[in-house]
Amino acid sequence: MGLFQKIKNMFQKNETEKVVETKEEEVAKEAPLAVKLDSPVEEVKPNVDLIVKELKEEERILAERKRKQEEEAQKESEKSVKVYEKGLSKTRQSFVSKLVELTNRSEKLDDAYFDQLEEILIMADIGVHTVMEFMDRLRSRVKKEHITDLEYLKEVIVDELFIVYVGEDVLSDKIQYAKEGPTVILFVGVNGVGKTTTIAKLGWKLKEEGKKVLLVGADTFRAGATEQLRDWAERIGVSFVGKGEGSDPSSVIYDGCKKALEEHFDVVLIDTAGRLQNKTNLMKELEKMNHVIGKLIPGAPQETLLVIDATTGQNGIQQAKSFKEITNITGIVLTKLDGTAKGGIVLAIKEEVNLPVKYIGLGETKEDLQLFDIEKYIYGLFKDLM
């Protein structure tokens, strides 16, 4: 089955699964009871009745609990799909409506059609190389499958975009947690991209998952940066370590890691200053930070996430290339996707910098940070086509 159908079925499937499971549960519930009820031994009957009653009650409670859990998971998933839908609406409106328009006004699949499609994709910031690869794949598939139906072609486009993104790759989009001891995540990125806000959103999410979270304010460069993070820590109800403006970021990190070890924190999120003006200095500073972290907590930082502002388009891609040269970036957080019509940048990052997008920011509230999920992303983009 193609991705288009798969995503289209995503929600209906959830519904039918629920119905099927309920039926199975009912059968399972009846079976052991039938045996007990058939028992011919008279004397123990009152006992059997009691046991049956208790069993029934226990099963009812278990079934109820399971149903609630499933309901919660379903609600979470629906909520997350909604955040994607809403956050990608700008991109969808410009990108998909252009695609629909093109399909409506074209009569056949000719060179003019392909040229205009190419233009639409490039306008969405998908990135020239990705678009080229995609167009080649699409042209050869059209030829091979003798596709002439423009409606069907829309489905093929969704499928092929997915394939271009996933490729043969094994890049992990999940956060790597330490097997033991605190997991340290270092956030880097230029000014104003959304590092501090992302840390707050992620801190809140992890706390909700039951983790003990520590925020470390190692942006000692910008006035007010420490206070901004401290305020967030208070608002989301997690711990905080920070020093005054101008102190050595590595010494703040030292204090943070020490506290994390002594007080058994699960996750340490470190905010850093966003400067890329002087590459050599930044590289040295990051080296020092990594050294301090690794010395106190072997194997850490488990993740160094580069935060990029999606509204800056190709500029963001350049930042990713530069940061990749100076330190070991393990993933990208792409913020402000809600503020751009060029949400195709997700695909360009993959193609041009070959780093996994781990989280995306789809708005300013704490719920708006989402683990990147290619299927929800494609659904968010193409939902009007389905």
Site residues (CB under 5 A) for Mg ion? 195-196
CB of 183 or CB of 370, closer to ligand GTP: 370
CA–CA dist 194, 308 (Å, integer)? 8
Count residues contacting ligand GTP (CB under 6 A)? 21
Q: Provide φ and ψ at 308, rounded to 5°.
A: -125, 140
Least distance CB 237 / Mg ion (angstroms): 20
Residue of the chain from 220, 226, 335, 340 that contacts ligand GTP (CB under 6 A)? 335
Through-space distance between the first and last CA atoms of the chain, rounded to whole angstroms: 15
Residue of the chain from 164, 193, 213, 329 that contacts ligand GTP (CB under 6 A)? 193
Contact in structure between 184 and 293 (CB atoms under 8 Å): yes
Q: Provide φ and ψ at 191, rounded to 5°.
A: -55, 135
Tokens matching residue 33: 């009871």
Least distance CB 258 / ligand GTP (angstroms): 24
CB of 8 or CB of 195, closer to Mg ion: 195
Least distance CB 217 / ligand GTP (angstroms): 10
DSSP 302-349: SEEEEEEEGGGTHHHHHHHHHHHHHS---EEEEE-GGG-S-TTHHHHH
CA–CA dist 216, 35 (Å, integer)? 61
Tokens matching residue 156: 């093929």
**Using rule CB under 6 A, residue 316 touches ligand GTP:** no
Judged by beta carbon distances under 5 to 8 A according to partner kind, the member of ligand GTP, Mg ion, none in contact with residue 294 is none
Q: Provide φ and ψ at 125, rounded to 5°.
A: 65, 30
Site for ligand GTP in 233-292 (CB under 6 A): 274
Provide the mask over 338-377, with x wherever binding to ligand GTP is found by CB under 6 A and - wherever it is not: xx---------------------xxxx---x---------
Least distance CB 354 / Mg ion (angstroms): 27
Judged by beta carbon distances under 5 to 8 A according to partner kind, the member of Mg ion, ligand GTP, none in contact with residue 197 is ligand GTP
Match 């659904």 to its residue by tokens: 379
Residue 56 CA: distances (Å) to CA of 29, 30, 48, 185, 367: 8, 9, 12, 48, 40
**Using rule CB under 6 A, residue 221 touches ligand GTP:** no
Judged by beta carbon distances under 5 to 8 A according to partner kind, the member of ligand GTP, Mg ion, none in contact with residue 191 is ligand GTP
Residue 108 CA: distances (Å) to CA of 112, 125, 153: 9, 26, 11
CB of 91 or CB of 319, closer to Mg ion: 319
Q: Which helix (H) or strand (E) holds 188?
A: strand 183-188
Least distance CB 336 / ligand GTP (angstroms): 4
Residue of the chain from 154, 205, 336, 350 that contacts ligand GTP (CB under 6 A)? 336
**Using rule CB under 6 A, residue 92 touches ligand GTP:** no
Residue of the chain from 155, 160, 219, 266 that contacts ligand GTP (CB under 6 A)? 219
Residues interacting with ligand GTP, by CB under 6 A?
Answer: 189, 191-197, 219, 222, 225, 274, 335-336, 338-339, 361-364, 368
